Amino acid sequence: MEMVITEHIEITPGVCGGKPRIAGHRIKVQDIVIWYEEMGMSPDEILYHHPSISLADVYAALAYYHDHREEIRRQLREDEAFAREMQAQTPSLLQEKLKHRNA
């Protein structure tokens, strides 16, 4: 049996943090998951916004996600925690300007 998903998904150390991604692109599987599950985009809408990938790539990413759900969910949680940490360490310049303006 041919392993079709390997034509569409690759993991390369040093590229996209070593996270699974669409082969030949920097679009991570977790990006597809966010667009599909959290933003409610259909596979066709994802393809419309990213015409350099194929519909098969989108479905392969979703299949990969369902086969590795816990791993992808853990990566999403870690990325969200990192973003919150960076946001807490780096105050918004806009918020600072608005504070001074309203003071």
The one-letter amino acid at 77 = R
pLDDT in the model for residue 2: 45
- The parent domain of residue 20 ranges over 4-102
Return the CATH number at 90: 1.10.10.10
Contact criterion met (CB below 8 Å) for 8 and 23:
yes
Which 8-state DSSP code applies to residue 74?
H
Q: What is the pLDDT of residues 9-65, one digit of tens each?
A: 999 999 999 999 999 999 999 999 999 999 999 999 999 999 999 999 999 999 999
Residue 21 host element (H or E): strand 21-22
The one-letter amino acid at 2 = E
Question: With a threshold of 0.85, does the pTM exceed it?
Answer: no
> What is the rounded distance in angstroms from the CA atom of residue 20 to the CA atom of residue 9?
6
For the chain, what is the domain count?
1
- Does the pLDDT at position 1 exceed 50? no
Contact criterion met (CB below 8 Å) for 63 and 53:
no
